[in-house]
Amino acid sequence: MFLPMTKDECDALGWSELDVILLTGDAYVDSSFFGTALIGKYLVYKGFRVGVIAQPDVTSSEDISRLGQPKLFWGVSAGCVDSMVSNYTPLKKRRNEDDLTAGGRNTKRPDRASIVYTNLIRKTFPDGAPVILGGIEASLRRIAHYDYWDDAVRRSILFDAKADAIVYGMGEKTIFELALRIRDGKPWKDLRGICVISDRKFPESIEIPSFEEVSSDKSGYFEMFDLFYQNTDPFTAKALSQKHGDKYLVQNRPQFPLSEQELDDVYNLDFERAAHPLHEKEGHVRALDTIRFSITSHRGCYGECSFCAISAHQGRIVVSRSESSIVKEAETIRDNPGFTGIIHDVGGPTANMYGFECRKKVKSGACRDRRCLFPETCANLKPDHSRQIALLEKIRNIKGVRKVFVASGVRYDLIFADKRNGERYLRELVAHYISGQMKIAPEHTSNHVLMLMGKPGKKDLIRFKEMFDRLNREAGKKQFLTYYFIAAHPGCTEAEMRSCGDFSRQMLKHRPEQVQIFTPTPSTWSTTMYHTGIDPYTGEPLFVEKSPKGKEHQKIMIRGDNRSARPGKKHY
């Protein structure tokens, strides 16, 4: 069943009014890979009536009024991606294409969509139901944050949007509790996983440097982000308060992750795996090509790459679904009339984190003073790929499934740390779950830049390539590795980019083509380095390439085309 997008569909369901209306900056695709569908379907499963308005016209009140007013609240999300990241390239040029919009043209999502949509609701329904922000844009802009597009520190998005609260992180539990409390007329501002505006600081919270301090002082900004990052674990985090003028942004403690059973319940909801028919005349949603027949096996990531916000959004605790739930989903996919026999991915933020987790972390939270994978894999983690091997085998043996791929990223340090099953896992990938090439993301080869990124060193990369090549020879296959790199990450100089290219050509026998210029997205460590120019390990100044020309130049350097090299440029 699709969530209703029109009054007629509500009538067909016998819903005279809606409890919750969800607004999204993407097309409405009924898939577990789209947060709006996931939250909406979960609330319906729990007994609430939920409708969707996707990509409303913000110049009139027609779209926003289509379903009337919700009884409990509006839920507003910019979509699966921050609207500024969606709408602009790393060099701030407007993107013309959009895989999350029907027809593929980037014309439907306004910049700073969470703010624009909230204004639209307030203008159309003054004094209406509360507006609750959610999704990655609001979640990662929940405290004061550096905004690359303004090149300035912005206030918490809650102040700019003038909404009532933010549900941050993975929202199912929080949004359900919120709906219950609002329905029952109970107070809800103390709920885990939300941010609200208050006249006073929360008594048991940590007060982090104010918006005024962090917008004018980079060391204050660094201190703020460090405190924010240290307080993202549901077991150990404290609430945070941050002064903005004469008010406070209060971030309540994080929500606990779903249990295995709860995760199974969410992913086994009856998703249509298609765009809502209302989008039909607009064209195809390209994102469906990769996600329609893909399966999420787990949530969370303890990789903590500095440029990635998943640890701050999904958390460092990995929760895996049960084998039976995943196999059941694979069988549902098999029975879909459009299925051609290929499951495009079984994975999560990192494919090979499925099926094991540190016992200490699950019981009492992630360590505050060390990381699970960097600089080395923690001895307490005990990686074990056996559950994932068995799971993939079960899926590929389902009658009607011709091929299963693992397209999510693989951490090769985890493969080496699993003495018993690591090599066996890669052997299985080579034999069954890749086709011709395997994509990996070393991101760089300079040990200095890799340390800043929180990624494994180049020795591991060479070791992985050797193992991959050997297993291919043994299997009688000719398959290749494709490498993804980042140019102009904070700390990276032209010289390091050039030597990354040289290393790639000489040691990996590969000419880098997949090179992305670093984008300072909200609330990551790399963005904090970009803005402050501070090395988080030493506290010393850090070189940061900020000019568009210099960034482009780094991209050229790695490819080995240095004809346009700028002579005499100093970096430190």
Map residues 347-376 to x or -, x wherever contact with ligand SF4 holds by CB under 6 A. -----------x-xx----xx--xxx----
- We find the least distance from the C-beta atom of residue 378 to ligand SF4, in angstroms, to be 3
| Amino acid at the residue 532 | T
Map residues 254-293 to x or -, x wherever contact with ligand SF4 holds by CB under 6 A. ----------------------------------------
The count of residues interacting with ligand SF4 (CB under 6 A) is 11
Piece of the chain touching ligand SF4 by CB under 6 A; list 215-223, 268-276, 378-386, 521-529:
378-386
| Cβ contact 365:235 at 8 Å | yes
The reply on whether position 305 binds ligand SF4 by CB under 6 A is no
Smallest CA-to-CA distance from 340 within 395, 400, 392 is with 400
269 vs 367 by CB, closer to ligand SF4: 367
Smallest CA-to-CA distance from 434 within 400, 391, 392, 467 is with 392
338 vs 375 by CB, closer to ligand SF4: 375
- We find the least distance from the C-beta atom of residue 367 to ligand SF4, in angstroms, to be 3
Candidate residues 29, 378, 410, 449; the one interacting with ligand SF4 per rule CB under 6 A: 378
35 vs 348 by CB, closer to ligand SF4: 348
**How many residues does this entry show for the chain?**
572
Strand locations in 210-316, DSSP E? Answer: 240-244, 247-251, 274-275, 294-296, 298-299
CB neighbour list of residue 225: distance below 8 Å, 6 or more residues apart: 523, 525, 528
- We find the least distance from the C-beta atom of residue 317 to ligand SF4, in angstroms, to be 9
| Cβ contact 385:418 at 8 Å | yes
Sign of CA dihedral 224, 226, 229, 234: negative
| Cβ contact 510:539 at 8 Å | no
328 vs 371 by CB, closer to ligand SF4: 371
Smallest CA-to-CA distance from 223 within 215, 236, 214, 233 is with 214
162 vs 368 by CB, closer to ligand SF4: 368
The reply on whether position 542 binds ligand SF4 by CB under 6 A is no
| Cβ contact 294:233 at 8 Å | no
The reply on whether position 401 binds ligand SF4 by CB under 6 A is no
227 vs 367 by CB, closer to ligand SF4: 367
- We find the least distance from the C-beta atom of residue 502 to ligand SF4, in angstroms, to be 34
Q: Give the SS3 label for residue 555.
A: helix
417 vs 488 by CB, closer to ligand SF4: 417
For every residue of 5-26, DSSP letters joined together read -SHHHHHHHT-SS-SEEEEESS
385 vs 489 by CB, closer to ligand SF4: 385
Q: Under rule CB under 6 A, which residues in 42-61 are in contact with ligand SF4?
A: none
222 vs 302 by CB, closer to ligand SF4: 302
- We find the least distance from the C-beta atom of residue 222 to ligand SF4, in angstroms, to be 23
Q: What angle do CA 118, 123, 129 make, to 5 degrees?
A: 65
85 vs 372 by CB, closer to ligand SF4: 372
| Cβ contact 55:48 at 8 Å | no
How many whole angstroms separate alpha carbon 23 and alpha carbon 489? 34
- We find the least distance from the C-beta atom of residue 295 to ligand SF4, in angstroms, to be 26
Phi, psi of 123 (to 5 degrees): -70, -40
Candidate residues 21, 305, 381, 450; the one interacting with ligand SF4 per rule CB under 6 A: 381
- We find the least distance from the C-beta atom of residue 57 to ligand SF4, in angstroms, to be 47
Phi, psi of 433 (to 5 degrees): -115, 10
What are the percentages of helix, strand and coil residues in the chain, rounded to 5?
35, 15, 50
Work out the end-to-end distance of the chain between its first and last CA atoms, rounded to an integer number of angstroms.
Answer: 58
- Residues at the interface with ligand SF4 (CB under 6 A): 358, 360-361, 366-367, 370-372, 378, 380-381
